[in-house]
Amino acid sequence: MSLISESQVILDLDYPDRHQATRALAETLVADGRCTDLDLFLSDVRKREEQMATGLPGGIGIPHARSGGITTPSLVFGRSRNGIDWGAEDGPATLIFLIAAPDGGGDAHLAILAKLARKLMRKDFRQSLSDAATAAEVVEIVEREVVNA
């Protein structure tokens, strides 16, 4: 099973705060059978956010957690034209990646997080995600640049 699918891409993530946005992103995992307990997963993400904000400079949000509610390592992408406050010092996030890993699933999600964070420091990668017209295009970019790189 691929890390990300077209159904795990929201190109118009329009929510007033990160908690509502995270819920919308996580609901794609429930719909795809990758999350069996949405409330548990959201609680785990929120606990992680309370330790340290997951907003990065350049308009990036990377909420993530290991959770007993997740069955398959997964990546969900959301793009917000207006931006959502994810706690970064330089302002709201417009590109958001939700990383979900099963509890006890080893360090796979940390490897994904590290690889993704490195790619997100590249302006051309961020721009390609901002410019993507379809969910299929986002999946192709992420698979080429992060998953299969």
What CATH number is associated with residue 72? 3.40.930.10
Residue located via tokens 């959201």: 42
- Asked if residue 106 belongs to a domain, the reply is yes
Q: Is 74 exposed, middle or buried (0-12, 13-18, 19+ CB in 10 A)?
A: buried
pLDDT tens digits for 84-93?
A: 999 888 999 9
- Asked if residue 1 belongs to a domain, the reply is no
Q: Is 48 exposed, middle or buried (0-12, 13-18, 19+ CB in 10 A)?
A: middle
- Asked if residue 14 belongs to a domain, the reply is yes
Average pLDDT of the chain, as a whole number: 92
- Asked if residue 148 belongs to a domain, the reply is no
pLDDT tens digits for 122-133?
A: 999 999 999 999
pLDDT at 52: 86
- Asked if residue 127 belongs to a domain, the reply is yes
Which sign, positive or negative, has the C-alpha torsion 122, 142, 70, 8? positive
* Residue of 34, 64, 66, 109 marked catalytic: 64
pLDDT at 105: 66
- Whole-structure pTM over 0.75, yes or no? yes
Nearest Cα neighbor of 62 from 27, 103, 21 is: 21
pLDDT at 106: 64
Query: Under a CB-based contact definition with an 8 Å cutoff, are residues 141 and 79 in contact?
Result: no
The whole domain housing 136 covers: 6-141
Which residues are CB-neighbours of 43 under 8 A, at least 6 positions away? none
111 pLDDT higher than 80: no
* Amino acid at site 91: G
48 pLDDT higher than 70: yes
pLDDT band at 142 (very low <50, low <70, confident <90, very high): very high
pLDDT at 115: 86
The tally of domains found in the chain comes to 1
148 pLDDT higher than 90: no
Q: Is 19 annotated as catalytic?
A: no
pLDDT band at 1 (very low <50, low <70, confident <90, very high): low
- Asked if residue 149 belongs to a domain, the reply is no
- Asked if residue 130 belongs to a domain, the reply is yes
- Asked if residue 86 belongs to a domain, the reply is yes
Which sign, positive or negative, has the C-alpha torsion 29, 98, 125, 91? positive
